[in-house]
Amino acid sequence: MALQVFTVLTGRSYGPHYAERLQRMLKRHLSAPHSLTVLCDAANRPALASLGLQHRQLEPLGLQGFCSKIQLFNAAITGETPFLFFDVTLVVRAGLEPLLRFGAAHPAPLIGVRDWSYPTLNSCVMQLRPGAATARVWQAYLNGEDHGTPGPNQNFIYRALQRHCPGALATWPEGLVASYRGLRKLARRDAAAAERARQAACVLKFHGRPRPHEVLRPWRHPSQTVLKHPLRPDLWRFLAEDITDHWLLS
């Protein structure tokens, strides 16, 4: 049976081509047979269909943007089979076998990323095993529990699990999913350490700004590239080669 993979695309912040590029990166770096489904709102359905991307419409429950990821915990949307989730705002730069091996061996209902800035979950790459624990997250939302609703979604997920199912959450091994901004910050003071961290990572997560296309054209998007490090031109197109090789040309 093919591995189920989901992503979420709602609103206008990211175009459907972000989902298409994720699909191409997964074909290149996810060796296991798999099927990507884009969970979307009604506005994005026509464009996804025109690109030939498998998609499914989310329930219109007032969850905006990436807070829609809370619907991943609704088995009526995702089914009962274990699955992987990837944000569209990332670059898969290497084979995902280390993630697959860890996920297969770990019994936790939810595996996610340990956030780089706060003591919480980062939901950019997750493995979910639908069951009692994940259902409690969805029920907590339906019950109107105050866990940071409506977002950020990852705070809600983390706090709901902490309240109802302590121990249900595990995190991927440190470094397999790396923060782009974290690596760029590290490179300011230790380029060699940043390169080692890049090489160890399967996935580069772009959270906030810059976005991948902004790194490729820093002078068109100077506020998040050139002006962030005006005296460090080596950082203006930081990791542009990875973005080109794996995101743009995948």
**pTM attached to this predicted model:** 0.93
The verdict on 109 and 193 lying in the same domain is no
Instruction: State which residues form the domain around 88.
Output: 3-171
The alpha carbon dihedral of 103, 208, 166, 74 has a sign of: negative
- Number of domains forming the structure of the chain: 2
Residue 86: name the closest of 177, 10, 158 by CA.
177
Q: Are residues 118 and 151 in the same domain?
A: yes
Q: Are residues 114 and 50 in the same domain?
A: yes
DSSP string, 176-216: SEEEHHHHHHHHHH-HHHHHHHHHH-SEEE--SS--HHHHH
Torsion of CA 224, 229, 234, 238, to 10 degrees: -30
Q: Please name the helix (run of DSSP H) or strand (run of DSSP E) that holds residue 125, with its range, or none.
A: strand 121-128
Write the single-letter amino acid at 87.
D
Single out the residue in 171, 204, 223 at which a domain terminates. Answer: 171
Domain stops at, among 117, 137, 171? 171
Residues 131, 159, single domain; the answer is yes
Q: Give the domain CATH number at 140.
A: 3.90.550.10
Written as tens digits, the pLDDT of the chain (250 aa) is 889 999 999 888 888 899 999 999 999 999 999 999 999 888 888 898 988 999 998 876 655 545 678 889 999 999 999 999 999 999 999 999 999 999 999 999 999 999 998 888 999 999 999 999 999 999 988 888 875 654 568 888 999 999 999 899 999 999 999 999 999 999 999 999 999 999 999 999 998 889 999 999 999 999 989 998 999 999 999 999 999 999 987 5
